[in-house]
């Protein structure tokens, strides 16, 4: 989950930071549903979570949290061990 300082901050700014690093990102939530301040929820591969957190924090997003979605159904194509697609930032 990435906290946004202002409503004007967009998903595109986050994508501009992560795409050059080759980090695949899927936006799975946005707005104020989860918190009082504007935020977006991203799904990233498990093995790229630490890199994602660091990249966003270094580029001025100080409010970045990571968690694992253990309640959701597996996405099609996920193997038994999991491919890490169920980790959110």
pTM to 2 decimal places: 0.70
- The pLDDT value recorded for residue 63 is 87
Q: Which of 6, 9, 8, 49 is nearest to 25 (CA)?
A: 49
- The pLDDT value recorded for residue 70 is 66
- The pLDDT value recorded for residue 61 is 87
Task: Phi first, then psi: give them for residue 7, nearest 5 degrees.
Answer: -60, -30
Per-position pLDDT tens, the chain of length 89:
888 776 666 788 888 999 999 999 888 877 665 556 778 888 999 899 999 999 999 998 888 888 887 665 555 444 434 444 556 66
Positive/negative CA dihedral, 26, 13, 57, 64: negative
Domain ranges of the chain: 2-72+82-88
Helix, strand, coil share of the chain (percent; to 5): 25, 20, 50
């Amino acid at each position: 989950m990435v906290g946004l300082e202002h409503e004007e901050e967009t998903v595109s700014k986050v994508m501009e930071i992560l795409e050059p690093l080759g980090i695949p990102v899927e936006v799975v939530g946005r707005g104020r549903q989860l918190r009082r301040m504007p935020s977006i929820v991203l799904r990233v591969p498990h093995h790229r979570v630490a890199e994602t957190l660091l990249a966003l924090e270094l580029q001025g997003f100080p409010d970045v949290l990571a968690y694992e979605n253990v309640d959701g159904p597996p996405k099609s194509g996920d193997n038994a061990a999991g491919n890490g697609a169920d980790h959110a930032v």
